[in-house]
Amino acid sequence: MTRTLTPARRRGVEKLDVPGVPAPIVRRSLADVALANRLFGGKHAVLAELEPLLAGRRRPLTLLDVGTGAADIAVAAREAAARRGVDLVAIGADTAIPLVTSAAQRIDGAIAANAVALPFADHSIDIVVCSQLLHHFREHEIACVLRELDRVARVRVIVSDLQRSWVAAAGIWLVSFPLRFHPISRHDGVLSVLRGFTAPELGAHVATATGAMPVVTKRLGWRVTASWTPHS
């Protein structure tokens, strides 16, 4: 039954990843992604990993959101920290200049950067988050990204992504109509699910790339997280 519900990992190209997409369409599609994160567990998955790091914390923390997009995850992280009385400085990184500019207005700063070569010193950021970005990379690039996250983080790395499933793919297709998603969001949402990971796959990627043994958790909304303490 599990094999039936878990298709082989797709390659494919998400339309939002193609250079030249007009900025208004990019912003509209990322607003759809932010809505899906809020409704279907993307935000909750990251916050569930973040909350234990905030408990009892007194000193300020820094957080880097790699592939920040609309910065909705970074904003949610800052709000969660504020509720705990923790001063969290949130920085976003993305390859798209319009997104960097927009994110910089919502959080503490943003920088144009590629996840395979982050412009930060070793262990210079407390918490490094990578939410729904890893599936965009080809197999041989995934290890490069994970090693960069591990290199930059000082306290914890949190990777959150989609759990690959026919059920999840059909679900995002169906709900995209009543939620009035842009056609690009609908196409990319389905393909993103089919490029996602099973829990064992994600854990194996982290272990192979970094040598760490991550805590891998299946979460609501067909999400899966992997978190680990980076090598010092």
CATH number at residue 150: 3.40.50.150
pLDDT for residue 1: 44
Domain-located, residue 20:
yes
Domain-located, residue 6:
no
Domain-located, residue 142:
yes
Count of domains forming the chain: 1
Domain-located, residue 204:
yes
Domain-located, residue 1:
no
Residue type, 18: V
Q: What is the mean pLDDT of each run of 10 residues along the chain (232 residues)?
A: 70 82 88 91 96 90 96 97 96 93 95 97 98 93 97 98 94 94 93 95 98 97 97 75
- Of 91, 97, 103, 101, residue with least CA distance to 34: 103
Query: How many C-beta atoms surround the C-beta of residue 124 within 10 A?
Result: 14
Residue 55's domain comprises 16-228
CA atoms within 13 A on the CB side of 230: 23
Q: Are 209 and 142 in contact (CB under 8 A)?
A: yes
Domain-located, residue 114:
yes
pLDDT for residue 2: 47
Domain-located, residue 144:
yes
Domain-located, residue 148:
yes
